[in-house]
Amino acid sequence: QIPKSDSIHHMSHSQMRPELPPLPASANEEPSELYQTVMSHSFYPPLMQRTSWTLAAPFKEQQHHRGPSDSIANNYSLTAQDLKLKDLLKVYQPVTVNVPRERLVQGLPSATKSSAEPNKKKMKFSPRGKEDLTGIKLVCNTSMSCLLKKEVVASPTAPGSRPMSPEEQIRVMLQKEMEIESQEPKPSESDLERYYYYLTHGIRKDMIAPEESEVMVRVSNLISNALLTSPSLEPLMTILIEEKENDYYNSLKKSIVDYILMDPMERKRLFIESVPRAFPQRAIRAPVPWHSGYRNAKKWNEEHLYTVNPMILSLEELWFAEFKDLRFVRTAEILEGKLPLQPHEYQDVIRKHCLEARQILLNKWIPTCAKLFISQKEQWIHFAPKSDFDPSRNVEEYFASVATFMALQLRKLVIKSLEDLVSLFMIHKDGNDFKEPYQEMEFFIPQLIMIKLEVSEPNIVFNPSFDSCWELIRDSFLEIIKSSEGIPKVESILFPELKGYNLILRTVNPEENLVSDFVDQTFEVFQKNQVGPHKYLNVYKKYDDLLDNMAEQNITAFLKENHEMDDFVTMINSIKKRRNEIASMHISVPLAMFCLDTITINYELCERAQNLKDRLIQFQVDINRDNNTSICNQYSYIAEKVSEIPSNTEELVLLIDFLKKSSDVTVFKLRRQLRDAIERLEFLMDYADLPRKRDAICVRTGRPEAGCVCFAEEDIKLNSTLLLWPDQIEDVFENSRNLLLSKRDQAEMDLTKRCSEFESKLEGYSKELEGFRKRPLFLLNAEEIAEEVGNMWRTIYKLTKTLADVPAPRRLAENVKVKIDKFKQHLPILTISCNPGMKDRHWQQVPVTVLQGGEPAPSGGGVGAQRHQIRHQRVRCLDRFWFRHSPATWEALDSSLTSSGLQLADLLEPIGAAASKEYSLERNLEKMKLEWVNMMFTFVKYRDTDTSILCTVDEIQLLLDDHVIKTQTMCGSPFIKPIEAECRVRGSEVEGVVISS
């Protein structure tokens, strides 16, 4: 209630019926919709809110600030009207199965969020601040099985009182009614009028939830089909349906109005002092002393005794009708199939059968059971809670009983499957021991598992081993149990919202004694069936030398010795006989439970025997190939050697001698070797295979004959070549003789011609040297001379090393090398003198005393005399340098320079370096001038005018900038003095153009 001191108490609460003032007299228009609404509310204040977060929200809720979540489920609950989510304590809630009745009746799984919410009855609370922020925490284990295992402790009840008589019951009821009447006055006519107004107009129809369609379905189920399908009763049916809907809405409206009017503040606001009381309903119960005990016993049986439920019988009938013959391992099918099985095939068959049985259980058994529950829901629907707030203990216990019954059926299936698997192995319970020698007809019962015999030097082993086979058999028992695990309960289909819970049917535990007994029985049979395979290994005792490589060592020792061809034949025949014995042995050995596959070991032993035989044959093949190759190589060498064309006289003489020796001596030795090769070929024709024969064997057997030695195509060609060489070599000799005779005549003519050409070449060298000595010095290219002299020196140096063992040519080469070394001393002076950068001003810097050998230069006046003096000094310098290469002159010049403490190269080197730098600057300046020769300026019209503008000036601008930088750099050089004036003028011109542009 709102205290009177609160400001809300003074708002919208008039002490009498509010009325609006009358409209002005001059108003001719009808009142507005707002005025009419306000006028209506002044007489009948609204009972419900027109706009709210939830439907059917009472008007009184406007004075409270509640969010949508706080408004849900508290508008018509007195105990929850002041609750808020933030003030709620943390809920500890046991897991319950909430099954909305309407969904169970329809037979559909609940998909709404409210159906998956936990039951709110009997919740435990704890302060929210003392727990973590993970939300609601479960009190017990979340699995339903744990909840169903809890003991239900019945609280002690007080002994029942004496049954009341009907008169006493009437007096008690009347007294209670009189007490209620004394507390509330009777409603006045105004109260009744306003009460019925709010029943008819206070609540809109759209605020009330429509009636569930299944109600009409249940009503129709109670009426016979003859009445429902009668055409004459269709109008009456329509009237009755409308009457039912009106009664539904009227009853809900009355309940809402009665609930709201329970609030005194709302009565005051709505001007209703009291409400009509409902007609009292009185029920008198006959006094039955044993009724209470009977009722409790009946109630307990109805709630807890589920074995007599018709659904259990239906599940039993379904199992015997469709699944009684189902097995995880179909042993009859295995025995009728192809036996024996490879270990992996056996494993695949077991897994396949288990998987198929599991799929039948998952895809047929469980869904069919679920359909039974849906089609016969009337048999168990009464166990479900009527609302989300009712306890679901009964339905949990019911489905726990159903799960136990189905788990027993599944357990029986697993036990039957394990028994069938044990019986499959018990067929061979007598074992597989036998008396030697082995007789195949003793074991006629189909075997189960195939085991291969393989070689693991130096022993024979079983693949797979018996330990692996036992693991395989034991795993088949575990595979059956594993396939039965994880089968969901029927609740997982009926109630998909419970998928997060552990709804799994229990099955056989692998640790149970029952499973251990089955495994132990099978293990006893398995041990009895290990004797025969180990005993059969004695058959291969006499072939131990093939397994431990002793036979291989014997063959190696045999090949190291020298033996005749007959010894090889004897050894090969003995090995061939052993191989045929091995090939005729059993390829499959039936031994009760197991069947030995001996193909691999027989093939391995045959291959080893064949390899020994092939080693002997291959030894002869290799010897034959090597000898034949050697003979053919000698023939080929002779043929190639005598077919060579001699390049000189010496080779011609040697080739004639080789031809004579080969035709008279070597060929006769090769013919003796050829006779031995023919004998080996006859042996190999008997024991080695030809390629065509080998291909025929491959086609006939369907596999390549790896264990045989055959002639390769190259061997056949080699043998053919060997037999053809004796005749071919004679033809080669005859052709070579004719060729050498013609070459001898030609060599004599070539020698005469070479002598004459050498004489002519010497005369040419002499003339070229004389011309070089007489050529003017300033016309020579110093760089080419220096490069050529360097090449000549390197060549002659190599000749001195090459001719170290030949005294006369080596001495001549050393003399030439000394002369070149002397000439190389004058190359620096020659380079300076022939420098194109040496101008007249540079020659003026040469000391006159050096040029004239200490004599003064001629003097004279005037410019002409000065130029004549410069030319004279240059000519004198060149003449001094190249004065006919007279050794006396060079020695005299060197001695005069040495006596004065100077060297001619040291004097001229600085002058030549300066001249080169000045010459480089001149060339750069000329290059910049030439770059402007082909430069063109292009003009184009500016838009549509007659004015022309310069275009493509970027290239010109770059060139100007480059020349500005170059001229500035050149002007800063210390060697610019001779052309400084010209360079500065050029720089000024370029800078002027840049500034003007």
Q: Mean pLDDT across the stretch 684-695?
A: 65
Point out the least confidently predicted range of 200-214, 620-634, 714-728, 771-785. 771-785
- Where do the DSSP E strands lie in 627-722? none
Q: Tell me the Cα Rg of the chain.
A: 64
Tally of helices (H runs) and strands (E runs) in the chain: 38, 8
Q: Name residues whose C-beta falls within 8 Å of residue 711's C-beta, 6 or more positions apart in sequence.
A: 621, 684, 688, 689, 690, 691
More confident residue, 78 or 563: 563
The structure tokens 């005990």 sit at 293
So what's the pLDDT on residue 902?
Answer: 44
- pLDDT exceeds cutoff 50 at 322: yes
Alpha-carbon distance of 350 to 343, in angstroms, equals: 11
**Rounded CA gap, 525 and 50, in Å?**
86
CB atoms within 10 A of CB 560: 8
Long-range Cβ contacts of 678-681 (<8 Å, 24+ apart): 679/565, 680/565, 680/620, 680/623, 680/624, 680/627, 681/624, 681/719
Give the count of beta carbons closer than 10 Å to the beta carbon of residue 716. 12
Quickly tell me which residue has 């089968």 as its tokens.
Answer: 487
pLDDT band at 696 (very low <50, low <70, confident <90, very high): very low
pLDDT digits (tens, 9 = 90+) for 748-804: 788 788 888 878 887 887 777 677 666 666 667 777 888 888 888 899 888 888 888
Residues 6+ apart with CB under 8 A from 644: 651, 655
Q: Higher model confidence: residue 782 or residue 340?
A: 340
**Contact present, 93 and 123 (Cβ < 8 Å):** yes
Take residue 270 and report the two structure tokens written for it.
């709505």
How many residues in the chain?
A: 997
Range with the largest mean pLDDT of 763-777, 888-902, 928-942: 928-942
Backbone φ and ψ for 950, nearest 5 degrees, come out as -80, 135
- Position of tokens 């006893």? 524
pLDDT, average across residues 805-809: 85
Least Cα distance to 248 among 213, 197, 198 occurs for: 213
> Which pLDDT does position 972 carry in this prediction?
81
CA 905 to chain centroid, in Å, comes to 79
- CA distances (Å), origin 461, targets 224, 467, 547, 589: 81, 12, 12, 15
Assign 20 a pLDDT band (cuts: 50, 70, 90): low
| pLDDT for residue 433 is more than 50 | yes
Report pLDDT digits (tens) over 647-658: 777 888 888 888
767 token code pair: 């003339």
pLDDT reading at 917 higher than 50: yes
pLDDT confidence of residue 811: 87
Residue 145 C-beta-side C-alpha neighbours within 13 Å: 10
Judged by DSSP in three states, 203 sits in coil
Q: What is the DSSP letter of 590?
A: E
What 3-state DSSP class applies to 28?
coil
Whether residue 214 has pLDDT greater than 60: yes
Task: Identify the pLDDT of residue 439.
Answer: 86
Phi-psi region of 901 (alpha: psi -120 to 50; beta: other; left: phi over 0): left
Cβ-count burial 429-464 (b if 16+ within 10 Å, e if not): eebbebeeebeeeebeebbbbbbbbebeeeebebeb
Between these two residues, 124 and 877, which has the higher pLDDT value? 877
CA nearest to 928, candidates 896, 899, 902, 964: 964
Supply 248's token pair: 């539904």
Q: Give the percent of the chain with pLDDT over 70.
A: 79
346 has pLDDT over 90: yes
C-alpha 951/C-alpha 939 separation (Å) is 6
Q: State residue 121's pLDDT score.
A: 37
Quick one: average pLDDT of 323-327?
92
Domain map of the chain by residue range? Answer: 304-446+463-531, 636-774, 781-925, 932-996
User: Would the CA dihedral through 835, 839, 840, 846 be positive or negative?
Assistant: negative
Position 186 confidence tier, pLDDT thresholds 50, 70, 90:
confident
- Please give the full DSSP string across 354-391, using - where no structure is assigned: HHHHHHHIIIIIHHHHHHHHHHTGGGTGGGS-SSTTS-
pLDDT tops 60 at residue 246: yes
- Residue 158 scores a pLDDT above 60: no
CB 602 within 8 A of CB 540: no
pLDDT digits (tens, 9 = 90+) for 839-860: 777 777 766 555 554 444 444 4
Q: pLDDT value at position 19? A: 52
Side chain identity at 635, as an amino acid letter? Answer: Y
What is the band of 364 on the pLDDT scale with cuts at 50, 70, 90?
Answer: very high
Residue 721 has φ and ψ, to the nearest 5°, of -65, -40
What pLDDT does 773 receive? 64
pLDDT at position 626 is: 86
Mean pLDDT of 956-979: 82
Predicted confidence (pLDDT) at residue 134 exceeds the cutoff of 90? no
Q: Which residues contact 331 (CB under 8 A, 6 or more apart)?
A: 420, 421, 423, 424
> For the chain, what percent of residues have pLDDT higher than 90?
20
> Average model confidence (pLDDT) for the chain?
77
Asked if 486 and 504 count as a contact pair (C-beta separation under 8 A), the reply is yes
In DSSP notation, 116-136 reads: GSPP-TT-EEE-GGGS-SS--
Contact in structure between 887 and 929 (CB atoms under 8 Å): no
pLDDT in the model for residue 712: 72
Number of C-beta neighbours around residue 307 at 10 A: 9
Phi-psi region at 702: left, alpha or beta (left = phi > 0; alpha = psi -120 to 50): left
The token pair at 518 is 């089955």
Say how far apart CA 460 and CA 908 lie, in whole Å.
100
| Per-residue pLDDT reduced to its tens digit, 856-894 | 444 444 545 554 554 455 445 544 444 333 333 334 334
Record the pTM: 0.45
Residue 918 host element (H or E): helix 904-931
Question: Residue 151 — very low, low, confident or very high, per pLDDT cuts 50/70/90?
Answer: very low
- CA 829/CA 99 separation, integer angstroms: 121
Mean pLDDT, range 925-943, rounded to an integer = 80
pLDDT at position 987 is: 80
3-state DSSP call for residue 939? strand
Closest CA to 516 of 413, 402, 418, 385: 418
pLDDT at residue 229 tops 60: yes
Maximal C-alpha separation, the chain:
181
DSSP state of 453: E
**CA 228 to CA 260: how far, in whole Å?**
40
What is the SS3 assignment for 945?
A: coil
Q: How many Å apart are CA 38 and CA 21, to the nearest integer? A: 12
- pLDDT, average across residues 232-244: 92
165 or 794: which leads in pLDDT: 794
Peptide bond before residue 340 is cis, with ω within 30 degrees of 0: yes
| pLDDT for the residue 129 | 36
Indicate the range of 109-118, 153-162, 230-239 predicted with least confidence. Answer: 109-118
What is the distance between the alpha carbons of residues 201 and 181, in angstroms, rounded to a whole number? Answer: 28
Residue with tokens 């080739």: 655
Residue 853 Rama label (left phi>0; alpha psi -120 to 50; beta)? left
SS3 state at 596: strand
Q: Is 373 exposed, middle or buried (0-12, 13-18, 19+ CB in 10 A)?
A: buried
What is the predicted pLDDT for the residue at 249?
92
By DSSP bridging, strand 588-591 and strand 459-463 are unpaired
- Whether 629 shows a pLDDT value over 90: the answer reads no
| pLDDT value at residue 849 | 53
Q: What's the CA gap between 734 and 158, in Å, rounded?
A: 144
Q: How far is CA 195 from CA 130, 270, 276, 996, in A?
A: 50, 9, 8, 109
Q: Could you give the angle at which helices 513-528 and 466-484 cross, rounded to 10 degrees? A: 150
Cα gap 721→639, rounded to integer Å: 13
Run of H or E including 459: strand 459-463
